[in-house]
Every structure is written in C-alpha cells, then in structure tokens.
Amino acid sequence: MAGLVRFSVSLEKELSGKFDALIRKRKWQNRSEAFRKLIKQELIEEEWLKNEEVAGAIVLVYDHHRRDLLHKLTHLQHDFSKLILSTQHIHLDHHNCLEVIVVKGRPTDAQRLRDALKAIKGIKCGSLAAASTGERIP
C-alpha cells in the first residue's frame, strides 16, 4: 500500500481483549482493518457535526390507509426536492408501506426533513442513516 504509516497503540488489557473479540465478531481481518473502519466512521460523524455535504437515507414505515398521509408525504418531499436524490416505495403488506428516501446535502437539512416526516400523523417509524458522499473519506 502506498503511503502507509505505521504506529503503535497502547491499550489496557481488558479493552484490548474486548477489541479483539469485536474484531472476531465483525469478521474484520485484523486490528489494522478494524482501526481503519473505526476511524472512517468517526470521520463521517465529523462531517455530520461540521454540517458538510453528506449522503444518507431516511427510512419510513406507515399505514397508507391513514387519511391525508400520502398527500402530506408527497407535499413535504416536493419541498425538499433539492435534497432528495430518490425515493423507493415498498408495499410491505395490505396496510404497511416502507419508504427509503435517499438524500444528499447538509446534515441539518436531512435532519429537518426526517423530523418533518416523523411529525406526520400515521408515520410509525422514521430513522436517518448517516452516511458520507465519500469525497473526503480516503
């Protein structure tokens, strides 16, 4: 690997044991791979904290029979059309729908959209998966 930097890490014995157990559970190849994954996850968290451009997905579950719900849901997504890249709708059963709204933009806008969606009566759950555009993550 080009530009590889090596450094040593000191850990308490108990923490080191828990770290190795986590590496086995997650099926990571070794401690170096584990550190790379953990550092990247922290860098993504920093992007969200600094309100840099990020990507993510809002997942909703709702009963489509609820009056006005679909109208409100569509109206809100049109208000945030610059933030939304795509929407996928899955009919889970006779009543329930799952919708995945993929977003790219400022974290504060993504959180505003999630909160506005969750405020609609009949939305059973709404969560935001925080990811990255990948541009600032090596």
Binding residues (CB under 5 A) for Ni ion: these are 91, 97
Nearer to Ni ion, 50 or 91 (CB): 91
Q: Two tokens at 26?
A: 């997650």
Closest approach, Cβ 24 to Ni ion, in A, equals: 40
CB of 50 to Ni ion, least distance (A): 37
What's the closest the beta carbon of residue 128 comes to Ni ion, in angstroms? 21
Burial of 103 (0-12, 13-18, 19+ CB in 10 A): buried
Q: Is the CB of 73 or the CB of 110 nearer to Ni ion? A: 73
Residue 56, judged by CB atoms within 10 A of its CB (0-12, 13-18, 19+), counts as: buried
The answer to whether 132 and 54 are in contact (CB under 8 A) is: yes
Q: Nearer to Ni ion by C-beta: 36 or 91? A: 91
- DSSP label at residue 104: E
Q: Looking at beta carbons, which residue is closest to Ni ion?
A: 97
